[in-house]
Amino acid sequence: MRLQSFMLRASWSKKSRGGSMRLKNKIIGGAITSASALSVVLILAIIVIILVVTIIGGKDKISWEFLTSFPKDGMMEGGVFPAIYGTALLVIIMSIAAVPFGAITAIYLSEYAHEKSWLAQTIRFAVRTLATVPSIIFGLFGLGFFVQFVGTGMDKWFLGGQLKWAQPNLLWASLTMALLTLPVVIVSVEEAIRTVPRELREASLALGATKWQTIWKVVIPGSISGIMTGTILAVSRGAGEVAPILFTGAAYSLATLPTSVSDQFMNLGYHIYVMSTQSSNVDKTLPIQFATTLVLLMLTFSLNLTAVLIRSSLRRRVK
């Protein structure tokens, strides 16, 4: 009888502990779910508030003329077409420079380099360091290296000292921005490549494919969506950055559009910065600032949407 009573008490105690543990886990899970939902709501609310404020502030200025005309009257009137054109060129050239180089580096780190080799560790350290450097430092580096060192050397050796490349221009600004976005591309592409199952690589090698054929035919197609995601992140960051191009190519105002990579250019982000800090009448230009901000958001969203569509198309093609 005593043994039976003891076993009943032990069984009841075990069930009680199990019930308490389930209740605790349920409370913790509910708290995490609630916190996650609250975070999502806050993020969406912030985005909606930004869009609403921007649209309300700039809706009276947004028009076809505003999008297709040049600034005038000291940028107190007119449009932002040169800034749109310059921003688009900057993003395109920056992506052409950063994405292939970043993808090649990521392929080397994930497929060729030994995890503990000194070269791989050095590259990873450099990538982590670049990711933490303030953007204004990239601008100073671009001025010192691209403009004053590389540009001066090109003018001296190829143009007999004639000034062309040793001054801020579209090419130097794009390369500086490519350095800024390079860590994002490398990390994103490497993570995408690592999602491809190793069994697929082993199967390809077992069928007689070389290392490069396996990468080209198996790894890259299997991770193309992640590679495009890295491109999207790079484009999104590059489109709105201002500090790296302050000293390397952006101009206050231009009467003509850039016709080559050696010309200066206008930029939407820099245009907003100039109007908000150096305008003779900031309050008067406030509607133009809001309208320009709205155009920059629309351009960024359009670039992102284009990349998403390309990524989706490639994903369906691979399947």
Together in a domain, 27 and 159: no
SS3 for 29-83, per residue?
HHHHHHHHHHHHHHHHHHHHHHHHHHHHHHCCCCCHHHHHCCEECCCCEECCHHH
H or E element that contains 218:
none
- 3-state DSSP assignment of residue 250: strand
Together in a domain, 81 and 9: no
Q: In the predicted model, is pLDDT for residue 266 greater than 60?
A: yes
Together in a domain, 76 and 52: no
Give the pLDDT confidence of 95-138 residue by residue, as tens digits: 899 988 998 999 999 988 887 888 889 999 999 998 889 999 99
CATH code (residue 79): 1.10.3720.10
Which residue from 297, 289, 279, 264 is spatially nearest to 174, judged by alpha carbons? 264
Together in a domain, 158 and 272: yes
Q: Give the count of domains, the chain.
A: 2
First-to-last alpha carbon distance for the chain, in angstroms, is: 68
Question: Is 262 in contact with 293 (CB distance < 8 Å)?
Answer: no
Tokens coding 172: 């130097």
- pTM higher than 0.95: no
What is the Cα–Cα distance from 257 to 68, expressed in whole angstroms?
A: 12
Together in a domain, 78 and 43: no
What is the Cα–Cα distance from 132 to 194, expressed in whole angstroms?
A: 23
Give the pLDDT confidence of 51-60 residue by residue, as tens digits: 899 889 888 8
Q: In the predicted model, is pLDDT for residue 197 greater than 50?
A: yes
Together in a domain, 138 and 231: yes
Of all residues in the chain, the percent with pLDDT exceeding 90 is 28
> Domain residues for 40?
1-58
What is the Cα–Cα distance from 161 to 312, expressed in whole angstroms?
A: 49
Together in a domain, 143 and 185: yes
